[in-house]
Structure 1
Amino acid sequence: MESLKIKGRIWIETESGLKIGIGRARLLEQIDELGSITEASKILKIPYRKAWGIVRDINANSSKEIVIKEAGGKSGGKSSLTEYGKKIVKKFKTAEECFMKFSEDEMF
């Protein structure tokens, strides 16, 4: 008999309608690390317009701002996560790690 694995995708949701899955969590993580939506979109190989649309959707559906975008002049702007945004990413990563451990522990 072949072994069976538990597979699935997880995401977290808030009452305000915010949904964060692996793709959004990675985008937020890269924005926090690089300070730029543009650079984050390049690293993740997604179009800037799509990344910016995701950021707008995240902020619009959250009870608190998650990504702060500062306009810039010649040197360009800067983007960063609020403390709440960092907390959301951390919660997602914890949930993902728990799910991965569960799926490994429950293989048969």
Structure 2
Amino acid sequence: MENLKIKGRIWIETGSGLKIGVGRARLLEHIHQLGSIAEAAKALKIPYRKAWGIVRDINANSSREIVTKEVGGKSGGQSLLTDYGKRIVEKFRTAEESFMKFSKETI
């Protein structure tokens, strides 16, 4: 019998309809690191409009705000992950890591 491998994609969902998968987690991580939706979009090579739409969708479907936008003066504003947002990304990465370990096992 040949070795069987487990393949798949995972995401986490909340009761309020929030869904976070690998792409959304990556966008949130970049926003956290760079402090900007525009810079995160540029780093990920996705249009700003798409990134902003994803952030709006994430916040709209979450029971609590995940990304906050602070309006700035001359230097411009910034976007930040809330503590809840950081925990959501952390939970996704933990689940993803467990799945990757599990999927590396052969049946």
Q: TM-score with structure 2 length normalisation?
A: 0.95
Higher alpha-carbon deviation: 68-77 or 14-23:
68-77
Unmatched segments (≥5 aa) in structure 1 = none
Give the distance between the partners of 1:22 and 1:69, measured in 2 at CA.
Answer: 22
Partner Cα separation in structure 1 for residue 5 and residue 45 of structure 2: 29
User: What displacement does 1:2 show?
Assistant: 4.4
Identity %: 79
The match for 1:49 is 49
Deviation at 1:47, TM superposition (A): 0.3
1:3 Cα deviation from its structure 2 partner: 3.1
Name the CA distance, whole Å, in 2 between partners of 1:2 and 1:49.
46
Q: CA deviation at 1:73?
A: 3.1
- Matched residue, 1:63: 63
CA distance in 1, matches of 2:94, 2:45: 25
Paired with 1:38 and 1:74, the residues of 2 have a C-alpha distance of 17
Aligned residues: 107
- Given the two structures, how large is their TM-score scaled by the length of structure 1? 0.94
Give the whole-Å Cα distance in 1 for the aligned partners of 2:58 and 2:100.
25
Residues 73-82 or 47-56, more deviating: 73-82
RMSD: 1.1
Name 2:27's counterpart in structure 1.
27
Alpha-carbon displacement from aligned partner over 1:37-69 (angstroms, at most 9, x marks no partner): 011001111000000000000000000000001
Give the letter aligned to residue 9 of structure 1. Answer: R
Moved more, 39-48 or 71-80: 71-80
Where do residues 1-108 of structure 1 align in structure 2 (5 Å cutoff)?
2-105=2-105, 107-108=106-107
Q: Partners in 2 of 1:41 and 1:31 — Cα distance?
A: 8
Moved over 4 A (4+): none
